[in-house]
Structure 1
Amino acid sequence: MNKKIVGIVLIAIGVALGLWGYDVYDSASSQVVRAFSGDTPIEAWIGMVGGAICLLVGILKLK
């Protein structure tokens, strides 16, 4: 039962991190930086990749 609770929590954290990362990626300041330098902010990468990892680990915990 504890594995399922941990899995559900990891899925929720993964979704939240992914949404936060996308929000950072799509922000106005990020768009200006991307327009001039072409770089994506590291916070966006951390949020989206970390969210995907948490989501995958959470799904594996539910099995």
Structure 2
Amino acid sequence: MNKIIGLALLVVGAVLLYFGYNAYNSAASEISELVTGSPTDNAVWYLVGGALAVIIGLGALLKK
């Protein structure tokens, strides 16, 4: 059961990282980065959430 959850988290994390990458490279994010010095909040949250989900998913898959 843990392997299925780990695999699901890995897939969800990969999807979130994909959306985060696209949001980070969007025109809105580039304008926000030009004005404020940081990308949009959505891009950051997608990237952080995706990275956490991938790490937890890998941990669940590699755990014996």
Number of aligned residue pairs: give it.
62
Match of 1:55 in 2: 54
1:36 and 1:42 map into 2 onto residues whose CA distance is 14
Q: How does 1:1-63 map to 2 (within 5 A)?
A: 2-63=1-62
Give the distance between the partners of 1:37 and 1:49, measured in 2 at CA. Answer: 19
Structure 1: runs of 5 or more not aligned: none
TM-score (structure 1 length as normaliser): 0.89
| TM-score using structure 2 length | 0.88
SS of residue matched to 1:21: helix
- Answer yes or no: is the 8 Å Cα contact 2:28–2:40 preserved in 1: no
Matched AA of 1:59: L
Q: For structure 2, list consecutive stretches of 5 or more residues without a partner in the other structure.
A: none
Instruction: Spell out structure 1 runs of 4+ moving beyond 3 A.
Output: none
